[in-house]
Amino acid sequence: MAALHISEQSLTATALPSKTDENQLGKKIVVRLPVLFCGLLLAVVANSHAEELPANLDWLEVVAFARHQTDYSGVFVYQYDNRVETTSIVHVNQPDGEYEKLESLDGPQREIISHDGRIWGFVNHKMVQLGSNYGHGNFPSLLPEQLAALKANYKAKLLGVARVAGYNTQVILFKPIDNLRYAHEIWVHTDSGLLLKAAVLGDNNKVEEQYAFTQLQIGGKIDRSWIKECDKAAAKLKDAPPANADIKPINSGWVADMLPSGFKKTLEIERLMHGRHAPVTQMVFSDGLSSISIFIEPNDRDEDDEDGLSSRGAVNLYHKVMDKELITVVGEVPPRTVIQVLDSVRYNGK
Amino acid sequence: MKQKISVLMDGELFEDEAETLLDQIKRGSDVDNDWDMYHLIGDVLRQPEHIHCGMSNKIRERMEDEPVVFAPRVRAVKQRMRTFALSAAASLSAVGVVAWMSLQISPEVAPQLAMQQTAFRPASMQIKPDANDYLAAHQEFSPSADLNGGASYIRTVSYSNGAAQ
């Protein structure tokens, strides 16, 4: 008896009636008249559920704009891989551009300030430049082509209103057209357009990572004393090379044939990377919401780096040695996608 | 009777008694329902995440859709089968509508089960600290940072930290 029961259970996955299978439904209507009534009923119910709104992409422009133009301070939690991190953030606009300060509230103390495309951090009580924000300048960087790509690769759906950190938000779901990318759900403050919560959803709607403000002050009196310190440190480094001196655009001749549809190349550069002797080629592809980077470098690393897949939250990384090159694919896309992309990387000559 | 079914499910009924009971189950629909209900209760207790409700009906319904080959020589049987199929399909579709409508009440259930078959997630481990450079470099040029909001901030914090050490 028990055995029979188990086998029944394993059948369920295939035996469930598919609610969208209207072709099948159509056949039934032709063959079996009594079903007609039920079919009609189904169709009516199905229609009442199809309240998909076509274009909710205006929201995104608001989000991209608000992210830069609003002064705010608050605390948000970031959850990934069964971990939770709490971070405070201050974002202000000054005459000479945007300033943003992030401070980790748990674990080792970390503080990051970004301004003018540069990222600063305190290491041993000294402010040093950690990196740059090449892609995102001081202005809303949501380009029309990015919006168009997003529209082609995701279905936007308004899911109603919800409260986050005491504010009313509009919930929007971006459902991907295939299973090679994650779904994204965002909670946008209805008044300011600030992104108050965001979740990346994988298979079975599993939350791969999410972040949410727990406390937020929009506008009003915001502490700006730290800006002076940042400017002082920046002034000392006036002679330092510009942030992107070690980066140059190239045409490497490398291609990836199996990128999911809709991923367009946004960048191809040669750059120096920490601990590497030779420059590394980096290609970046975007589908409007997610992006994939491909790194190609000569395999001259001493340690035996085994091939493999690793992940942190929604970001997956896969690397593999192909002939003489070490190839690494990173992106906020499912594991199957980084593997598929890497396996299709080849040199196409110059 | 209910007692007996419960004992049978636990596998503690004697063979001859079990046979009689199974005969009854085959005949009487009441007993059949009890049998289903007890298994459903068992399922819920064992694994509350996935509850298969009205499964045998669904299986029966799917089997209806399978092509049936009727041998041309037995007309009477064919006729009887068709009558049976028509009425069975009607009642099963009604059940299907109810089941489908109940699925609509909790919309997550259907896609979850449907996707279980295609879900493919190779074993993966945590990204090692020495790969932080790649993550930072990826983050730096990721064109969709504006739409990922806080996630991209926090990534910047943790990756940069790794690079500084």
Query: CA-nearest residue of chain B to A295?
Result: B134
Mean per-residue pLDDT over chain A, rounded:
78
Helix (H, G, I), strand (E, B) or coil at B90: helix
Question: Looking at the partner chain, which of A2, A60, A143 has a beta carbon nearest the beta carbon of B11?
Answer: A2
Contact list in B for residue A15 (CB cut-off 8 A) is 55, 58-59, 61-62
Contact list in A for residue B112 (CB cut-off 8 A) is 204-205
Q: In this predicted structure, what is the pLDDT of residue B119?
A: 40
Q: Mean of the pLDDT values across residues A208-226?
A: 90
Longest dimension (CA), chain A: 84
Q: In this predicted structure, what is the pLDDT of residue B109?
A: 41
Q: In this predicted structure, what is the pLDDT of residue B10?
A: 77
Q: Tens digit of pLDDT for each residue in A257-305?
A: 999 988 989 889 998 887 778 889 999 998 888 899 999 999 876 555 5
Helix (H, G, I), strand (E, B) or coil at A242: coil
Question: Which residues fall within 8 angstroms of residue A281, CB to CB, at 6 or more apart?
Answer: A250, A252, A254, A268, A269, A270, A295, A296, A297
Cβ–Cβ gap A38/B128 under 8 Å? no
Q: Mean of the pLDDT values across residues A20-30?
A: 45
Query: Looking at CA atoms only, how far is residue A198 from chain B in angstroms?
Result: 7
Cβ–Cβ gap B141/A8 under 8 Å? no
Q: In this predicted structure, what is the pLDDT of residue A331?
A: 93
Q: Mean of the pLDDT values across residues A309-337?
A: 91
Cβ–Cβ gap A78/B151 under 8 Å? yes
Q: In this predicted structure, what is the pLDDT of residue A275?
A: 75
Q: Tens digit of pLDDT for each residue in A46-70?
A: 443 433 433 466 777 788 788 888 8
Structure tokens at A282: 């980096």
State which residues of chain B have pLDDT below 50: 106-121, 161-165
Q: In this predicted structure, what is the pLDDT of residue B114?
A: 40
**What are the structural domains of chain A?**
19-50 (no CATH), 58-236 (2.50.20.10), 247-347 (3.30.200.100)
CB atoms within 10 A of CB A317: 25
**ipTM associated with this complex:** 0.74
A17 pLDDT above the threshold of 60:
no
Query: Looking at CA atoms only, how far is residue A236 from chain B in angstroms?
Result: 19
Contact list in A for residue B43 (CB cut-off 8 A) is 9
DSSP states of A141-204: ---HHHHHHHHHHEEEEEEEEEEETTEEEEEEEEEESSTTS-EEEEEEETTT--EEEEEEE-GG
Q: Taking the mean position of all CA atoms in its chain, how far away is CA B138?
A: 38
Range among A21-25, A113-117, A123-127, A220-224 with highest mean pLDDT value? A220-224
Contact list in B for residue A35 (CB cut-off 8 A) is 89-90, 93
The residue ranges of DSSP E strands in B35-161, in sequence order, are 125-126
Laid out side by side, the sheet with A207-218 consists of A126-132, A118-123, A111-115, A97-104, A83-94, A72-80, A207-218, A195-201, A183-189, A167-176, A154-164
Range among A84-93, A329-338, B30-39, B139-148 with highest mean pLDDT value? A329-338
Q: In this predicted structure, what is the pLDDT of residue A49?
A: 40
Q: List Cα–Cα distances, A1 to A11, B18, B24, in angstroms.
A: 16, 11, 15
Cβ–Cβ gap A1/B11 under 8 Å? yes
Query: Looking at CA atoms only, how far is residue A349 from chain B in angstroms?
Result: 25
Phi, psi torsion values for A60, nearest 5 degrees: -70, -40
Range among A5-9, A61-65, A126-130, B43-47 with highest mean pLDDT value? A61-65
Q: In this predicted structure, what is the pLDDT of residue B113?
A: 42
Degrees to nearest 5, angle at CA A181 with A86 and B121: 85
Domain boundaries, chain B: 1-51, 53-116, 129-164
Query: Looking at CA atoms only, how far is residue B67 from chain A in angstroms?
Result: 12
CB A56 within 8 A of CB A156: yes
Contact list in B for residue A39 (CB cut-off 8 A) is 93
Question: Looking at the partner chain, which of B112, B155, B156 has a beta carbon nearest the beta carbon of A204?
Answer: B112
Degrees to nearest 5, angle at CA A44 with A43 and A48: 115
A1 pLDDT above the threshold of 60:
no
Short-list A118, A131, A177, CA closest to A151? A177
Q: In this predicted structure, what is the pLDDT of residue A133?
A: 60
Q: Among A134-148, A219-233, A334-348, where is mean pLDDT lowest? A: A134-148
Cβ–Cβ gap A119/B156 under 8 Å? yes
Q: In this predicted structure, what is the pLDDT of residue B50?
A: 66
Rounded distance, CA A136 to CA A142, Å?
Answer: 9
Who wins on pLDDT, A125 or A273?
A273
Cβ–Cβ gap A78/B62 under 8 Å? no
Q: In this predicted structure, what is the pLDDT of residue A100?
A: 87
Q: In this predicted structure, what is the pLDDT of residue A297?
A: 92
Q: What percent of chain A is modeled with pLDDT above 70?
A: 74
Rounded distance, CA B116 to CA A18, Å?
Answer: 14
Query: CA-nearest residue of chain B to A86?
Result: B154
Who wins on pLDDT, A177 or B95?
A177
Cβ–Cβ gap B151/A313 under 8 Å? yes
Question: Looking at the partner chain, which of A33, A186, A335 has a beta carbon nearest the beta carbon of B124?
Answer: A335
Q: In this predicted structure, what is the pLDDT of residue A293?
A: 95
Structure tokens at A324: 């003489």
Q: Mean of the pLDDT values across residues A124-145?
A: 60
Q: In this predicted structure, what is the pLDDT of residue A187?
A: 92
DSSP states of A267-301: EEEEE--TT-SS-EEEEEEE-SS-EEEEEEEE---
Give residue B137's identity as a one-letter amino acid code.
A
Short-list A239, A124, A111, A332, CA closest to B158? A111
Sole residue written with tokens 């070690």: A246
Query: CA-nearest residue of chain B to A63?
Result: B147
Question: Looking at the partner chain, which of B56, B97, B147 has a beta carbon nearest the beta carbon of A42?
Answer: B97
Question: Looking at the partner chain, which of A1, A121, A275 has a beta carbon nearest the beta carbon of B160?
Answer: A121
